[in-house]
A and B are shown apart, each in its own frame.
Chain A
Amino acid sequence: MSRIEQTFKALNRPALVTFIMAGDPDAATSLEVLKALPGAGADIIELGMPFTDPMADGPTIELAGGRALTAGANMKQTLQMVRDFREGNGETPIVLMGYFNPIMQYGTNKFMDDAATSGVDGLIIVDLPPEEADEALSAAKAKNIDIIRLITPTTTMERLPKVLEGASGFLYYVSITGVTGAASADLSTIKPHIKEIKTHTNLPIAIGFGIKTPEDAANMGKIADGVVVGSSIVQTIVEKQDPQSVSEQVKSLASALK
């Protein structure tokens, strides 16, 4: 059983999925924040792979990627960060999230090899829809890395099978049509959609985009198997520059899901 599967199975409450950008604001601070996340209550960690042109992200995550790149971040460093994290943690799943070009330049097969040996469990590649994912999908499967698919309010039931094909680990439900860090979603509009998706898959569903506060998390937790918090944690990292503040924020998010 994969780490991701095990995590969802073991929980009798919604999972807290936290996003940070690898290397933001610098490699050392970012690693310190990463190591503290499980202790503070993060069940799954999404680690952003910095990219110059993050078209699906709002300004908070775009700026985080920019800070990381300015501080010298690259794909090798991101994978090293996962290896360093794994020295002290064998349970918490890590999902790398980002855009396809840095993976393509690394070499898709070599990337999957190195990601697997580093201890990466899953991948979210925002700009790689099922239509373009054949090569990456088979390379990932060969290394037991989950390809986590995005489902959005625009995904029709007609299109759903295409998105579910090859999906594993969990499904990431994008709660709004928009970029990361934007306004919160309206629970009543997404609830029926999620309910319908549930009839087509047994995979856990985590909701992300626009979830900022413990209240948001508790609300979304009512209708999903996990909630993703990203921009507001990234905002804390840049404002406080202090892993302790991030831990406190994650603790209060986690307790809202208990």
Chain B
Amino acid sequence: MTANSLKNQPDERGHFGPYGGRYVAETLMPLILEVEKAYNEAKADPKFWEEIELLQRDYVGRPSPLYFAKSTTEKLGGAKIYFKRDELNHPGAHKINHCLGQILVAKRMGKTRIICETGAGQHGVATATVCALFDLPCTVFMGATDVERQAPNVFRMKLLGAEVIPVTSGAGTLKDAMNEAMRDWVTNVHDTYYLIGTVAGPHPFPAMVRDFQSIIGTELKEQMMEREGRLPDTLVACIGGGSNAMGLFYPFLDDADVNMVGVEAGGHGVDTDQHAASLTGGSPGVLHGMQSYFLQNEDGQIQEAHSISAGLDYPGIGPEHAWLFDQKRVEYVSVTDDEALDAFQKLTKLEGIIPALEPSHAFAHVMKVAPTLPKDHILVMNLCGRGDKDIFTVAEKLGVKIDG
């Protein structure tokens, strides 16, 4: 890494330019510093990485395949399209990558109870999974609205032994679940580790989650060199908090010829007040322990986000994305609910892969740009989660009734 590397962030106090930092109540501050110390020690310990690598291979099923999407490529008639298939991970999304890493950090710290927040339930399921694996009690905070629209994942978490607490404050979505998790953590600092589900929150979480997720981009680099003998031209990933995108982008940040596109959830449109596009439609502020971009009014009150996808339904974004946005290193666009719904169906039929609604946003963008690109342009989309959990939401939107 050179001095000018884009991979040098954050600084030692956890700042990505003006973003990031540690905006937490004093009760949590000593613990946050402890997490940072534990992570730094773990990072320097080869045994820590050996344990992760073994679990990634034998338990998760990594490396995830790089799949050439022939039908999609032919149908769109432009760029050569690959999918990085993180939806094939056990148990269904990229979230397991940072859950394994964090639970090992929690164990090193001697913590005996795990809490987390979840939106779509993917992070909750992944956390409940690693808690079952390591036999630690797990409490999942989930917005009451999301509990309703993600029933299969709620049941899955319960089967795994987790306690799921529906959060009714606010709109009952991801933001509210995160508030409640923070309150629990403040109350139970002595024995509890908060396993944050994205590249957000106070330092060191954004950097730590990114590091655990960057296995996606690292694998891709190797697979692409093997397959095409060169780096891809464009990377596309959806963004709620931004964990799968950060994991895909980070290893390529210094490869100036690789374009990167982050796709935010445009809900009913970024010109309405019903979307979750924090960069396209928000402004810098402070929430959930970090400075970043948030949807807010001029008085600094946080606005409710909206997205068809519970996993993207968050009015903020990880601080490293805020910084990359300002640096113009990554292009950030948005896709509406309707476009994502259409993409969900197209991808299912074209490739026989039911994607989660989150990467359906990424695919909607791929459908827009791929036809405009030359045939030798290599585009990789991160297919970060599978869509089994979303079939009820999609059925409802399509006016189809399915009874269990």
CA distance A163 to B289 in the complex (A): 18
Residue A255, interface by CB 8 Å: no
Residue A27, interface by CB 8 Å: no
Q: Give the distance to chain B from A126, nearest Cβ to Cβ, in Å.
A: 5
Known contacts being A62-B169, A127-B23, is A105 close to B299, with CB within 8 Å?
yes
CA distance A106 to B189 in the complex (A): 33
Task: Kindly identify which residue among B29, B30, B190, B300 contacts A101, using a CB–CB cutoff of 8 Å.
Answer: B300
In the complex the two chains form, is A53's CB within 8 Å of B26's CB?
A: no
Max count, chain A CB within 10 A of own CB: residue among B183, B285, B298:
B183
Known contacts being A103-B300, A105-B300, is A132 close to B22, with CB within 8 Å?
yes
**Which chain B positions have C-beta within 8 A of A155?**
26, 29-30
In the complex the two chains form, is B286's CB within 8 Å of A53's CB?
A: no
For B264-294 the 0/1 string (1 means CB < 8 A from A) is: 0000000000000000000001111100001
Nearest neighbor of A154 in chain B, beta-carbon distance: B30
In the complex the two chains form, is A127's CB within 8 Å of B30's CB?
A: no
For B10-47 the 0/1 string (1 means CB < 8 A from A) is: 00010000000111111111110000000000000000
**Which chain A positions have C-beta within 8 A of B190?**
177
Residue B69, interface by CB 8 Å: no
**Which chain B positions have C-beta within 8 A of A51?**
300-301
Q: How many residues of A contact B (CB 8 A)?
A: 42
Residues A124-170 near B (CB distance < 8 A):
126-129, 131-132, 149-156, 159, 163
Q: Give the distance to chain A from B141, nearest Cβ to Cβ, in Å.
A: 12
Known contacts being A55-B25, A177-B187, A182-B187, is A127 close to B299, with CB within 8 Å?
no
Task: Kindly identify which residue among B170, B175, B296 contacts A105, using a CB–CB cutoff of 8 Å.
Answer: B296
**Which chain B positions have C-beta within 8 A of A151?**
26
Nearest neighbor of A76 in chain B, beta-carbon distance: B299
**Which chain B positions have C-beta within 8 A of A105?**
285, 296, 298-300
CA distance A132 to B26 in the complex (A): 12
In the complex the two chains form, is B183's CB within 8 Å of A55's CB?
A: yes
Q: How many residues of B contact A (CB 8 A)?
A: 35
In the complex the two chains form, is B302's CB within 8 Å of A53's CB?
A: yes
For B296-327 the 0/1 string (1 means CB < 8 A from A) is: 10111110000000000000000000000000
Q: Give the distance to chain A from B18, nearest Cβ to Cβ, in Å.
A: 11
Q: Give the distance to chain B from A158, nearest Cβ to Cβ, in Å.
A: 9
Max count, chain A CB within 10 A of own CB: residue among B175, B300, B302:
B300
In the complex the two chains form, is A179's CB within 8 Å of B186's CB?
A: yes
Task: Kindly identify which residue among B26, B187, B286 contacts A178, using a CB–CB cutoff of 8 Å.
Answer: B187
**Which chain A positions have C-beta within 8 A of B26?**
129, 149-152, 154-155, 163, 174
CA distance A236 to B186 in the complex (A): 26
Residue B126, interface by CB 8 Å: no
Residue A214, interface by CB 8 Å: no
Q: Give the distance to chain A from B165, nearest Cβ to Cβ, in Å.
A: 14
Q: Give the distance to chain A from B344, nearest Cβ to Cβ, in Å.
A: 31
**Which chain B positions have C-beta within 8 A of A34?**
none
In the complex the two chains form, is A127's CB within 8 Å of B286's CB?
A: yes
For B162-183 the 0/1 string (1 means CB < 8 A from A) is: 0000000110000100010011
Q: Give the distance to chain B from A175, nearest Cβ to Cβ, in Å.
A: 11
CA distance A21 to B94 in the complex (A): 42
CA distance A178 to B288 in the complex (A): 16
Q: Give the distance to chain B from A160, nearest Cβ to Cβ, in Å.
A: 11
**Which chain A positions have C-beta within 8 A of B289?**
127
Residue A256, interface by CB 8 Å: no
Max count, chain B CB within 10 A of own CB: residue among A52, A59, A100, A101:
A52
Query: Which B residues have a C-beta under 8 Å from some C-beta of A?
Result: 13, 21-31, 169-170, 175, 179, 182-183, 186-190, 285-289, 294, 296, 298-302
Extra contacts, 7 of them, besides A58-B183, A75-B300, A101-B296 (Cβ < 8 A), are: A56-B25, A104-B286, A105-B296, A126-B25, A154-B28, A155-B30, A163-B26
Task: Give 7 nearest A-B pairs by CB, closest first.
Answer: A105-B300, A102-B300, A178-B187, A152-B27, A150-B26, A101-B300, A74-B299
